[in-house]
Structure 1
Amino acid sequence: MKHLPPLALSLLALALASSAHAEGAFAQLYAARPPAGSSFVRVLNPHAEPLRVKIGNGPEQTLTGNTVASSYAIVKGQTDFTVTLNGRAGPPMKVAPDSFTSLLPTASNDPAQLKALDDSAGATQDALKAGLRFYNLSSDCTAGKVGISPAGTPLFAPVAYGASAARAINPVKATLVGSCGAVNTATLDLPALQPGEHFSMFLTGSAAKPALKGQRSATDGYKP
């Protein structure tokens, strides 16, 4: 019997835990889960302008301010779906089964020009730790970095534009700072994360004025 990947299970568990407050323990226990072979797709918006996003049959979301990433929409692996940006639908696309993918618009929020980033690569398999993923979305920054402030202890090796890196950490609070070359961002407080929780950090802005933003990863509810 084929099982969902660990990253999928941990994100689903967090989504179920959040809904349990409103729906009760029985709703959490018997909530529907995506079938094996399901995939998880989200869109990133590194720009200051708001971006309206719709993935497949998922809800429309507006990405603006500190909300860089949409929630992960659940799609069927190797099956066509469309991404709509600001009301404009792109061509049908597919992703591999049991995968996590972030889509980065590469040209004026054109849904036909999306770079796929593999969010499964390097993802933690340790349910007792929290997962961090750092994305360099600053188009003129060739080597984005993030470290612990004030010491500057690096969390990741330098990340090229349009790429990401992941690592597992013990669930602790910390203050982080991003950088491009010798230019640092304002600090970002890493929230207290639960074991199995995933947190994304995004280097945005320009090489001369980079910004570090962060948010918890979330997944849409599954509807059979």
Structure 2
Amino acid sequence: MTRLNTWTRNAGRASMFLLALGVAAGAMAEGEAALYDASAPAGSAFVRVINAGPETLEITTPEKTATQTVPGFRVGEYLYLPGGKAHVLSVGGLQVTHDFAKDSATTLVVSGGNTTTLDDKYFTGRKKALISFYNLTTRPLALKTEDGKHAVVDTLESLANGSREINEIKIGLAAWHDTGKLAAFPATFLKKGRSYSYVVFEENGAFKPVVVADAISTIE
């Protein structure tokens, strides 16, 4: 009986995860607002900073009168800028110039005086949630369920990102290397119509997992 109950619980967890990935059922009902439904004008470009170092970063751009600050090992909110043109951002004293397409999302990863530009998925879905995984370590990592049996985002090399849409669910995920689980994220309720960033930082051989619900900055 105990063995049967254990198998039933494990099968139930697997079924819930497959349901979240959209394998076993259709999408859930609409109702959540998409990330970019804020006050940004149509055709905007969205850019944010992930601070992969210990020092707080200040971000300024001529299009904004205020300064955004991003503490060490944290994920900044998206700033929206006019799309379809180049913009210059000052990030912790670094000058970053980039062409931002209309209706695009970009992440600038800053660490040790270097900046890496990553293209994010521009997510406007309302029926599912978007998970974006950022591997900011020196090892290849995959985002999986806590038991390692199901991959959400396949293995990424260092300083790379990947994403996947899933149905609404509360779930705990972890970053896995070939040698095993390296970092576990807290269980998070992933709402349809929202996007979430799972980031693994590395400092002095220690791994720092951070999960955030993506947001648009109110800085004007």
TM range (shorter): 0.7 to 0.9
Where do 5+ consecutive residues of structure 2 fail to align? 1-32
Please list, as runs of the form range in 1=range in 2, the aligned pairs for 1:41-56 lying within 5 A after superposition: 41-56=47-62
The 3-state SS of whatever aligns with 1:135 is: strand
Q: TM-score, normalised by structure 2?
A: 0.73
**Distance in structure 2 (CA, Å) of the matches to 1:129 and 1:158:** 22
Identity within the alignment, %? 22
Partner of 2:134: 135
**Distance in structure 2 (CA, Å) of the matches to 1:102 and 1:206:** 20
1:96 deviates by 1.3
Alignment of 1:214 with 2:211, yes or no, is yes
Partner of 1:85: 91
Change (3 A) 1:205 1:91: closer
- Of Structure 1 and Structure 2, which has the larger fraction of its residues in strand? 2
Change (3 A) 1:85 1:91: closer
Change (3 A) 1:163 1:94: same
Q: Could you tell me which amino acid in structure 1 is paired with residue 134 of structure 2?
A: Y
**Distance in structure 2 (CA, Å) of the matches to 1:45 and 1:220:** 16
The 3-state SS of whatever aligns with 2:101 is: coil
Change (3 A) 1:174 1:216: same
1:222 deviates by 8.0
Aligned residues: CA RMSD: 2.6
Where do 5+ consecutive residues of structure 1 fail to align? 1-8, 17-32
Q: Could you tell me which amino acid in structure 1 is paired with residue 116 of structure 2?
A: K
Partner of 1:61: 68
Change (3 A) 1:193 1:147: same
Please list, as runs of the form range in 1=range in 2, the aligned pairs for 1:146-161 lying within 5 A after superposition: 146-161=143-158
Change (3 A) 1:84 1:45: same
Partner of 2:20: none
1:182 deviates by 1.3
Encode CA deviations 1:114-160: one digit per residue, 9 max, x unaligned.
3221112xx6554111110001111x21x111211135422111011
Which of structures 1 and 2 has the bigger CA Rg? 2
**Distance in structure 2 (CA, Å) of the matches to 1:181 and 1:50:** 33
Q: TM-score, normalised by structure 1?
A: 0.72
1:196 deviates by 0.4
Partner of 1:26: none
Alignment of 1:181 with 2:178, yes or no, is yes
**Distance in structure 2 (CA, Å) of the matches to 1:151 and 1:12:** 32
